[in-house]
Amino acid sequence: MKAGGLWVYDNEIDRVFGGPDDGELLELRDFDGYFLGYGFINSHSRIRIRILSRDEGCAVNEELLKKRVHAAWEYRKRVMHKASDLEACRLLFGEADLLPGLTVDRFGDVLVAESLALGIDRMKRTILSALVEELAADGAKIRGVYERSDSKERDLEGMLRVSGWIELPGMGGGETQVPITENGIRYLVDIANGQKTGFFLDQKYNRLAVQRLCANARVLDCFTHTGAFALNAAHGGASEVVAVDASATAIAQAKENAHINGYERTVSFRTADVFELLPQMERQGERFDVVILDPPAFTKSRASVKKAVTGYREINLRGLRLVRDGGYLATCTCSHFMEEALFARTIAEAARGAHRRLRQVEFRQQAPDHPILWTGDENSYYLKFYIFQVFDF
């Protein structure tokens, strides 16, 4: 167990006394009897214990959970750029908000929850009810809470995958296509069928940073998903945007979002494998003022990092070859295991391979509603985002 960490792995435990059932709270001590914390146990998981409190004598009860929820909401109100950003915002981010395994996103009048740990799963209704009350106290009416606990990570915890409206006092259900506005752009978020909770909120301010580069620019947006970077480019005054994704479902949603905002003429969409399309564009002499690379995570474990490096190097090399001299590349990784220094080296290798010079404009991370906890391996720091100006040698 790393100092300050909130996870205890199965190979770090010597003995468990009292035979607690999976999902129950226990007291954690080291070999000398020194108190380490209270956490819930799950014998099915490699992460055997998830710490809830390091305060000896602390009562882990409804009052504590409400305090954690209140602190999380107060934090978001202070760190987000403007009040309207709270209407599409991550409200709870698991360990980073000291509620391990539970993520909650807000999309207008709907909350979407993902529960990935057994202990917190038993507490989720209390936590979600407290969150609805916090929002109501600030005048935000929530009509329902939708659960998207359908990730395969639940299998590793010995839990069934579930999705659907959660029954809470005073909460209903209704339409699962939820309208939001972010950075002045409107979207329909498919909370029932979209990836994760339906929309990637972590890139909110990174999209805004790219938006500022796109006036009168020809833009290529790779791995567009629901079109968010492409629409920010159009909103920033791009003359033409080409948006690419391998998923026909994602492209259909992106086209709908373009229609809602009146950008059908500015943004064109292609359903294609980006790794195959970019070399074709290069051979055809295509060039862009701005190229955006927002791929899915190429690695979700340390064991596959080496293979992921190859993928990131290739996609950045191909993207760099399509940027006009003096143009811009926005590139990122959303993998916790692709560490910052390794990602930077990989981009540098791609630039050498493409015979391009890079001038860094800025380095960014996930939006502050996805706070980064400086402890152990709890995965809260995952998004690394660079903007470069690109030059010929």
For position 219, which CATH number holds? 3.40.50.150
What is the extent of the structural domain holding 334?
A: 200-392
Total domains in the chain come to: 3
- Same domain for 223 and 368: yes
Average pLDDT score over the chain: 94
In a domain, 48, yes or no: yes
Residue 378 pLDDT class (50, 70, 90 cuts): low
Residues 367 and 218 in one domain: yes
- Note whether residue 181 is domain-resident: no
Tell me if 212 is assigned to some domain: yes
- 131 in the same domain as 32: no
Residues 374 and 313 occupy one common structural domain: yes
Using the predicted structure, report yes or no on whether residue 173 has a pLDDT greater than 90: no
- Is the pLDDT assigned to residue 352 strictly greater than 90? yes
Beta bridge partners of 357: 391
d(CA 237, CA 162): 42
Q: What is the mean pLDDT of residues 70-75?
A: 98
1 pLDDT exceeds 60? no
Q: Is residue 40 part of a domain?
A: yes
Tell me which amino acid residue 24 is. Answer: E
Going 190 to 196 to 197 to 201, the CA torsion angle's sign is negative
Per-residue pLDDT reduced to its tens digit, 218-257: 999 999 999 999 999 999 999 999 999 999 999 999 999 9
Check if 334 is active-site: yes
Q: Evaluate whether residue 249 is within a structural domain.
A: yes
The helix or strand, by DSSP H or E, that contains position 123, with its residue range, turns out to be: none
Residue 42 CA, distance from chain mean position: 25
pLDDT digits (tens, 9 = 90+) for 142-160: 999 999 999 998 998 899 9
* 79 shares its domain with 32: no
Q: Are 73 and 122 in the same domain?
A: yes
Domain boundary among 137, 160, 175: 175
Q: 68 and 40, same structural domain?
A: no
Non-local (6+) Cβ contacts of 164 within 8 A are: 146, 147
Least confident of 89-93, 102-106, 307-311, 323-327: 307-311
CB atoms within 10 A of CB 36: 15
pTM of the model: 0.94
Indicate if 161 and 268 belong to the same structural domain: no
Same domain, 151 and 258: no
Is there a domain that residue 193 lies in? no
Q: Are residues 70 and 168 in the same domain?
A: yes
Q: Give yes or no: residues 71 and 18 share one domain.
A: no
> Which residue among 136, 159, 175 closes a domain?
175
Q: What is the predicted pLDDT for the residue at 194?
A: 87
Confidence bin at 195 (pLDDT 50/70/90): confident
**Quick check: 71 and 127 in contact, CB under 8 A?**
no
Minimum mean pLDDT among 3-12, 174-183, 229-238: which range? 3-12
State the CATH number of the domain containing residue 132: 3.30.750.80
> Residue 376: what pLDDT?
65
Together in a domain, 157 and 211:
no
How many helices, marked H, and strands, marked E, lie in the chain? 10, 18
CATH of residue 31? 2.30.130.10
Percent of the chain's residues with pLDDT above 70 = 98
3-state secondary structure 304-342: HHHHHHHHHHHHHHHHHHCEEEEEEEEEEECCCCCCHHH
Minimum mean pLDDT range among 4-13, 296-305, 314-323, 324-333? 296-305
Among the listed residues 89, 214, 332, 334, the single catalytic one is 334
